[in-house]
């Protein structure tokens, strides 16, 4: 735990969506280690899943697990009611849950743009943009109702700021399994930036700050060597991110050190967007 109030999250109630995923579990660990009370929201969240992702921390009194579908307003409010009855209205929300299409995806959802299925487009937008909207709306409403202010962090993507580099995936065609990075993720994530700016200006006088974190790709065991080489070649730092390398930025955006920052986009991408 830190004694510096500028960077302290000690005692804060923080909701993290997608908190058992690769990035989310690292955020949860970092916040918990610094004294925050963390509520994990996830569509398939459970104590068993939390134990696998977080170990003994899953049973700590400063951590709660809630099965919440972020695309469903009733499910969100049930989760927030449970958090509020235990700890009060959240001080912070990290909208980390997201849905993307990986290179291992079947051809029907990873083919040419001209053939991309509208059902998949709607599903990805529903999670990444509509789900973010519903979480921001529900938490911001509660923050405003009690007049306590708060911090909301929406997780964007470099592919929401810039178009995907399709050349990275060209080798898949040579292997007989062509892959086009789909449009839905980029379209949904790009919407997050103006959702953030809208809410930042709308709630600014109420002390509710809303900012975006933009991460780049995270190294995963499931990625093949050629993909990693192609992706890394686009990153000035020369490697993909580790899952815990976004923790400090999120902690800063929640803590009082960023109290004059709202509507901003904090880019942590190894230099990808600097080219």
Overall pTM > 0.85: yes
Q: Give the chain's domain count.
A: 1
For the record, the structure tokens of 207 come out as 């002390």
Q: Please indicate, yes or no, if residue 275 is contained in any of the structural domains.
A: no
Q: Please indicate, yes or no, if residue 274 is contained in any of the structural domains.
A: no
Q: What angle, 0 to 180 degrees and rounded to 10, lies between the N-to-C axes of helices 131-146 and 73-87?
A: 40
Q: 209: helix, coil or strand? A: strand
pLDDT at 107: 81
pLDDT at 1: 47
pLDDT at 17: 98
Q: Please indicate, yes or no, if residue 80 is contained in any of the structural domains.
A: yes
Q: Please indicate, yes or no, if residue 205 is contained in any of the structural domains.
A: yes
Q: Are 17 and 41 in contact (CB under 8 A)?
A: yes
pLDDT at 53: 95
Q: Are 214 and 158 in contact (CB under 8 A)?
A: yes
Q: Please indicate, yes or no, if residue 122 is contained in any of the structural domains.
A: yes
Strands (E), 190-264: 208-215
> What CATH number does residue 189 fall under?
3.40.50.720
The list of the chain residues with pLDDT below 70 reads 1-3
Q: Please indicate, yes or no, if residue 151 is contained in any of the structural domains.
A: yes
Distance of CA 112 to the CA centre of its chain: 27
Name the residue range of residue 36's domain.
Answer: 5-268
pLDDT at 5: 86
pLDDT at 211: 98
Q: Please indicate, yes or no, if residue 241 is contained in any of the structural domains.
A: yes
pLDDT at 112: 92
Q: List the alpha helices (DSSP H) in 19-125.
A: 22-33, 47-54, 73-87, 118-125
Q: Please indicate, yes or no, if residue 273 is contained in any of the structural domains.
A: no
pLDDT at 195: 98
Handedness of CA 100, 103, 109, 111 (dihedral sign): positive
């Amino acid at each position: 735990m830190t004694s510096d109030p500028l960077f302290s999250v000690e005692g804060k109630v923080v909701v993290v969506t997608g908190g058992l995923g690769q990035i989310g579990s690292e955020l949860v660990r970092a916040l918990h280690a610094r004294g925050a009370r963390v509520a994990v929201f996830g569509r398939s969240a459970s104590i068993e899943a939390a134990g696998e992702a977080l170990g003994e921390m899953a049973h700590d009194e400063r951590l709660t697990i809630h099965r919440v579908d972020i695309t469903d307003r009733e499910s969100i409010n049930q989760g927030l009611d449970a958090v509020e009855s235990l700890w009060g209205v959240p001080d912070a929300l990290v909208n980390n849950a997201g849905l993307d299409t990986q290179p291992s995806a079947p051809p029907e959802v990873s083919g040419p743009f001209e053939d991309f299925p509208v059902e998949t487009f709607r599903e990805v937008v529903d999670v990444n943009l509509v789900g973010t909207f519903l979480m921001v709306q529900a938490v911001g409403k509660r923050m405003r109702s009690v007049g306590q202010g708060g911090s909301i962090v929406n997780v964007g993507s470099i592919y929401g700021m810039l178009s995907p580099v399709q050349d990275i995936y060209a080798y898949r065609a040579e292997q007989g399994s062509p892959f086009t990075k789909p449009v839905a993720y980029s379209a949904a994530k790009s919407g997050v930036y103006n959702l953030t700016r809208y809410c930042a200006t709308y709630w600014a006088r109420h002390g509710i700050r809303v900012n975006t974190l933009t991460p780049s790709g995270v190294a995963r065991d499931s990625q093949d060597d050629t993909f990693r080489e192609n992706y890394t070649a686009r990153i000035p730092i020369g490697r993909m991110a580790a899952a815990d390398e976004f923790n400090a930025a999120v902690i800063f955006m929640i803590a009082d050190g960023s109290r004059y920052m709202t509507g901003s986009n904090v880019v942590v991408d190894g230099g990808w967007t600097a080219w």
